[in-house]
Structure 1
Amino acid sequence: MRYTISALAKALSARLEGDGSLEITGAAEPAGAGPEDLALAMQPAYAEGLTQGQARVAILWEGADWRALGLEAALFVARPRFAMAHLTARLDAGPEIEPGVHSTAIIHPSAEIGDGAAIGPFVVIGRGVRIGQNARIASHCSIAEEARIGDDVLLHSGARIGARVVIGDRFIGQPGCVIGADGLSFVTPEKSGVEKARESLGDQGEIVAQSWTRIHSLGSVRIGDDVELGASTCVDRGTIRDTVVGRGCKIDNLCHIAHNVVMGEDCLCAAQTGIAGSTRLGDRVICGGQTGIADNLTVGSDVIFGGGTKVLSKVPAGQVMLGYPAVKMATHVDMYKAMRRLPRVMNRLFAAEKAVPKSDGDD
């Protein structure tokens, strides 16, 4: 698809300088841009790349001399990465799913499919499912009985939606995401070693053989509007009540949201984040990659966890946390600096010990 630069400038609320009639078909990094690409050169560091590529038009940093860079037009935006969100939304066609229902799809007679839906090959839709208008469901997805899916939803190939799951409007599920699998809920007939260790802070007492009995998951999952789940991410169903993911949450690839978790609105989880069972998150909580949050905790709104943080106790609202165990970021930085200095401190201590002669009474 072709776009004029003047139309893009209007869509991005950008200031246009130069020839607005130029047309582009895509976007590219400056050095690899062709004559029909919009070069993304939003910082001075990209200036050299513009001379290596063939772009005629670019998004530039404020104050750049677009003529001196050999361009025929330029766009200037107040917040470049925010502009990229709108630009990529226009240029991304998404997966190709033909309108209507593919002949290989298996749909239960009681299922309700909204107007304008596109359902790809080998999709399986169970009893009593309701799918909203303009939903796009790619190949090999499965949607179990009595699930509810809102309008304008996009399920990529291989997504799995469990029984009685409720999903809001404009949801995006990347390939292989699983919503509504059973949670890890098992119990032993006698008090387990884990229970004893928790009570004693480490002592199992007498160790005996144990076996595990499943606690079945009777709840399901409720997901709000405008949520995105990454590839191979799993959200487990609740044991009795539903697991909840609030409106606007964005969850990356390879994350795990365990049974009974309640996430507030607009939370963001980077890859390999794990949130253990029955933990509650407030609104706008941000989890860097490989964040781990233990079970039955409460995390307040507007908390930020740096990458690799391991959370073992409740966290008040507004904190910025880092480390294992999680502490305030400033404290973690001080601890890290102290650890880096520790070898030098120990060397000075050993040197001082050698410099002190032993008294006659010393052995």
Structure 2
Amino acid sequence: MSHSIHDIAVALGAEAFGATDILISRAAEPATADPDDLALAMNPKYAESLSQGRARAAMLWDGADWEAMGLEAAIIAPRPRYAMSGLTRMLDAGQGFAPGIHPSAVVDPGAHLGADVSVGPLAVIMAGARIGDGAIIGPQCFVGTDATLGQGAYLREAVSIGARVTIGARFIAQPGARIGGDGFSFVTAEPSGVESVRKTLGDQGEAKAQPWTRIHSLGAVTIGDDVEIGMGATIDCGTIRDTVIGDGTKLDNQVHLGHNVVIGRNSLICGQVGIAGSATIGDNVVLAGQCGVNDNIFVGDGVIAGGGTKLMSNVPAGRTMLGYPATQMDKQVEAYKALRRLPRLLRDVAALKELLKSGKGS
């Protein structure tokens, strides 16, 4: 599948220059680009390696002198990385999942499949499940009893969707995503040491050792439109109400959402983030890799938390957070700089003490 430079530029809303009839079949990094590749040299740093490859055409930044780089054609985009999203969509060859229902798939007669649904090998769709038009259910996927998938849903291989989970349109789940397991919720017959610690922040009291009793998950999971879930991500059902993910939110690989978590619209939850039960995350929140969110707190709209941040208490809207425990990023950086100066400060204090002891400092 090839596209001309002209057609690519039109599709991306960008400008094309030079030999716009050149056909492009792939995107490539500048140093490894072949003549039928579009080199992605979207800032001057990457353009330096164009001479190492054989690209005739490149996607460049606004104001780039493409002729001086020895190119025959160029696509100039005011925001190249955004244009890259459209380019990769055009060039994505997909996974090759065949249309129709594979003979090895198990589809309960009580399930409802919309038009043009693809069901891959060894997939299982349970009674009462409703699959929207144009959905793709990949190999070895599981869709539980009374679950709902909206139109255009795309489940990669080995995705599982639990009973009564409701998912909107254009959903994407990467391999191994697990949605709708029981929440991690247990209780003891008498007050436990954990309960005492939560109250006292340290003292376990005289609580005795006891077995843990499961609290079953009666809620499910509700997911809006245009949501994407990464590989190995796990989302627990709610205990009584549903766990909820709003429209447009994206979860990276190995993210975990505990029971009753609510995430708003257009939030970005990066790799290995863990959000404990009943936490509420607002709209347009970004949690960088390995962030942790305590249970029963809220994180306001527009909050950005840097990598490894641990949010232990409520965070007002618009804050930028870093560290463990989290503080505002500028304060955390200032404290870190002070910490690095601490050994020198201790040496200076020790030297002053010696000076005072010797009587020379009086």
**CA distance in structure 2 between the partners assigned to 1:50 and 1:142 by the alignment:** 46
Query: Does the 8 A contact of 1:120 with 1:138 survive in 2?
Result: yes
Q: What residue number does 1:331 align with?
A: 331
Unaligned runs of 5+ in 1: none
Q: What residue number does 2:44 align with?
A: 44
Q: What residue number does 2:245 align with?
A: 245
Aligned residues: 359
Query: Does the 8 A contact of 2:61 with 2:78 survive in 1?
Result: no
CA RMSD of aligned residues (A): 1.0
**CA distance in structure 1 between the partners assigned to 2:284 and 2:17 by the alignment:** 37
Q: What residue number does 1:156 align with?
A: 156
Q: What residue number does 1:294 align with?
A: 294
- Map 1:13-24 onto structure 2 (within 5 A): 13-24=13-24
Q: What residue number does 1:120 align with?
A: 120
Secondary structure of 2:211 counterpart: coil
| TM-superposed deviation, 1:208 | 2.3
**CA distance in structure 2 between the partners assigned to 1:275 and 1:47 by the alignment:** 40
- Map 1:224-263 onto structure 2 (within 5 A): 224-263=224-263
Unaligned runs of 5+ in 2: none
Counterpart amino acid of residue 330 in structure 1: D
Query: Does the 8 A contact of 2:121 with 2:139 survive in 1?
Result: yes
Query: Does the 8 A contact of 1:285 with 1:304 survive in 2?
Result: yes
Query: Does the 8 A contact of 2:192 with 2:207 survive in 1?
Result: no
Counterpart amino acid of residue 264 in structure 2: G
| TM-superposed deviation, 1:144 | 0.7
| TM-superposed deviation, 1:46 | 2.1
Secondary structure of 2:39 counterpart: strand
Show CA shifts across 1:264-292 (max 9, x none). Answer: 10010110001100011111111000000
Secondary structure of 2:49 counterpart: helix
**CA distance in structure 2 between the partners assigned to 1:351 and 1:358 by the alignment:** 11
**CA distance in structure 2 between the partners assigned to 1:307 and 1:101 by the alignment:** 42
Counterpart amino acid of residue 24 in structure 2: I
Q: What residue number does 2:220 align with?
A: 220
Show CA shifts across 1:123-152 (max 9, x none). Answer: 000010000000011100001100000000
- Map 1:1-363 onto structure 2 (within 5 A): 1-206=1-206, 208-357=208-357
Question: What TM-score does the superposition give when structure 1 sets the normalisation length?
Answer: 0.97
Counterpart amino acid of residue 99 in structure 1: P
Query: Does the 8 A contact of 2:191 with 2:207 survive in 1?
Result: no
Secondary structure of 2:199 counterpart: helix
| TM-superposed deviation, 1:207 | 5.1
Question: What TM-score does the superposition give when structure 2 sets the normalisation length?
Answer: 0.98
Show CA shifts across 1:36-70 (max 9, x none). Answer: 10000111122332111111110112332222222
| TM-superposed deviation, 1:29 | 0.2
Counterpart amino acid of residue 146 in structure 1: D
**CA distance in structure 2 between the partners assigned to 1:319 and 1:124 by the alignment:** 44
Query: Does the 8 A contact of 1:33 with 1:53 survive in 2?
Result: yes
Quote the sequence identity (%): 53
| TM-superposed deviation, 1:99 | 0.6
**CA distance in structure 2 between the partners assigned to 1:301 and 1:271 by the alignment:** 20
Counterpart amino acid of residue 37 in structure 1: D
Secondary structure of 1:85 counterpart: helix
Query: Does the 8 A contact of 1:6 with 1:20 survive in 2?
Result: yes
Show CA shifts across 1:280-310 (max 9, x none). Answer: 1111111000000000001110111111000
Secondary structure of 2:295 counterpart: coil
**CA distance in structure 2 between the partners assigned to 1:108 and 1:319 by the alignment:** 49
